[in-house]
Amino acid sequence: MSDDSFIREVNDEIRREQAQALWDRFGPAILGLAILVVLGTAAFVGYRYWDESRANRSGDAFSQALKLANDGKSDDALTALQQLEKDGYGAYPLLARMRAATVKADKGDFAAAVADFDGVAADTAIPQGIRDMARLRAALLLVDHGSFADVSSRVEALTADNNTLRHTAREALGLAAWKEGKTQDALKLFDQIAADDGAPRNARQRATLMSELIRGSGAS
DSSP secondary structure of the chain: --HHHHHHHHHHHHHHHHHHHHHHHHHHHHHHHHHHHHHHHHHHHHHHHHHHHHHHHHHHHHHHHHHHHHTT-HHHHHHHHHHHHHH--TTHHHHHHHHHHHHHHHHT-HHHHHHHHHHHHH-TTS-HHHHHHHHHHHHHHHHHHS-HHHHHHHHGGGGSTT-TTHHHHHHHHHHHHHHTT-HHHHHHHHHHHHH-TTS-HHHHHHHHHHHHHHHHTT--
Q: What integer pLDDT is reported at residue 174 of this predicted model? A: 96
| pLDDT for the residue 97 | 93
Q: Contact 115/141 with Cβ under 8 angstroms? A: no
Give the residue from 73, 120, 74 showing the smallest Cα distance to 94.
120
pLDDT for 216 equals: 84
Supply the pLDDT for residue 10. 47
In this prediction, the residues of the chain whose per-residue pLDDT falls under 50 are 1, 6, 10
Give the type of residue at 149.
A
Question: What is the structure's pLDDT at 175?
Answer: 95
Distance between the two ends of the chain, CA-based, in angstroms?
117
Rounded to two decimals, the pTM is 0.73
Domain ranges of the chain: 1-106
What pLDDT is recorded for position 16?
65
